[in-house]
Amino acid sequence: MVQNKVLIPPLKALQAFEQVAYFGSVVKAAESLNITTSAISHQIANLEILLNKKLFYRTGRGIVLTGTGEKYLEQISGALHSIGIATNNIIEKQEKETLNIHTSPAFGNLYLLPRIKKFQTLFPELQINFTCSYENVQFNLERVDIDIRHGYFSWKNLNVISIKNEYATVFANPNLIVQHPISHPRDLLKHNLILSQSTLIQWPQWFSYHNVNTLKGLQFLFSFDRSYMSYEAAKQELGFILENSLLAEQYLQKGELTPVFDKEFSMPINAHYIVFPHSHKKYSRVKNFVEWLKEELKNSSFY
């Protein structure tokens, strides 16, 4: 009895398809794979011929997956990721097991780094590798076990754990508050404000949430693209910051910063997520780190 042959498209065609789907752009996909745009287009065209289906259509905003394309991407992504992991395991086999963590810079610097010695003490056999950026990693292309992301939730086909009880809160050095007493959000308009560019909630939204008119515009003494710089500036009594309560813990414990208002003047946010592929659940290093981090977050009331 003759069995039907299973068609397996060329790996290059599948990689081209996945990258175009991820970026929504042939140019960016070509840059990611270090090949020409014509090569990308050729691979996509061959794949569509093989499948006898259109995988993309063009819009004013770029290239978008068709319904068939979305289903196909969902079904092949896990397989491509598994191939990448298996290949890396053979090529880069090391004597010491490594845990590769990617994290947003502020979370890595202000929350994770002060605690990581606890985890390392519990699991001394692990080598822990960190990379930091605000970009979301592509698990199938990068050797990353866990990604701690900052942003709005928008990730399908991944295991996502939300960090809870985060608030956008106004902080300042206690000495500054003594010098410039604040009783209502509108009072802040008379004082030096520091802008954190990376936060999900900015000063205009916060003032609007508390019914404070800012039609005349806001002026900022300093503006930083990294949260830890905003915290340090506030610590040095340079002004008032609007920042994430999750990341302020060490400053609060040392008495270097304090909330300016009661909790009623904070805004709830969901800004950080622990993200990893479903296939990574089987790795003890991932399971141990996630359980440890959840316990740390629980102890500080963020889980």
Q: What is the 3-state secondary structure (H, E, C) of the chain?
A: CCCCCCCCCCHHHHHHHHHHHHHCCHHHHHHHHCCCHHHHHHHHHHHHHHHCCCCEEEECCEEEECHHHHHHHHHHHHHHHHHHHHHHHHHCCCCCCEEEEEECHHHHHHHHCCCHHHHHHHCCCCEEEEEECCCCCCCCCCCCCEEEEECCCCCCCCEEEECCCEEEEEEECHHHHHHCCCCCHHHHHHCCEEEECCCCCCHHHHHHHCCCCCCCCCCEEEEECCHHHHHHHHHCCCCEEEEEHHHHHHHHHCCCCEECCCHHHCEEECCEEEEECHHHHHCHHHHHHHHHHHHHHHHCCCC
Beta strand 240-244 pairing with 193-196: parallel
Question: Is residue 102 over pLDDT 90?
Answer: yes
Question: Is residue 4 over pLDDT 70?
Answer: no
Question: What pLDDT is attached to residue 130?
Answer: 95
- pTM over the 0.85 mark: no
Question: What pLDDT is attached to residue 94?
Answer: 56
Question: Is residue 256 over pLDDT 50?
Answer: yes
Average pLDDT of 293-297?
96
Question: What pLDDT is attached to residue 93?
Answer: 63
Choice between 83 and 65, residue whose per-residue pLDDT is larger: 65
Instruction: Please name which of 253, 227, 252 lies closest in space to residue 242, comparing C-alpha atoms.
Output: 227
Question: What pLDDT is attached to residue 3?
Answer: 54
Radius of gyration of the chain (CA): 24
Question: What pLDDT is attached to residue 86?
Answer: 81
Q: Integer distance in angstroms from the first to the last C-alpha of the chain?
A: 57
pLDDT in tens, 175-199: 999 999 999 999 999 999 999 999 9
pLDDT in tens, 122-177: 999 899 999 999 888 888 888 899 999 999 988 888 999 999 999 999 999 999 99
User: Residue 195 is which amino acid?
Assistant: L
Question: Is residue 75 over pLDDT 80?
Answer: yes
Question: Is residue 247 over pLDDT 50?
Answer: yes
Question: What pLDDT is attached to residue 83?
Answer: 84
Average pLDDT of 216-240?
94
Residues 152, 241, 248: CA angle, nearest 5 degrees: 70
Residue 90, Cβ density class (10 Å: 0-12 exposed, 13-18 middle, ≥19 buried)? exposed
Sequence-distant (≥ 6) Cβ neighbours of residue 184 within 8 angstroms: none
Task: Tell me the pLDDT of the chain averaged across its residues.
Answer: 91
Choice between 286 and 88, residue whose per-residue pLDDT is larger: 286
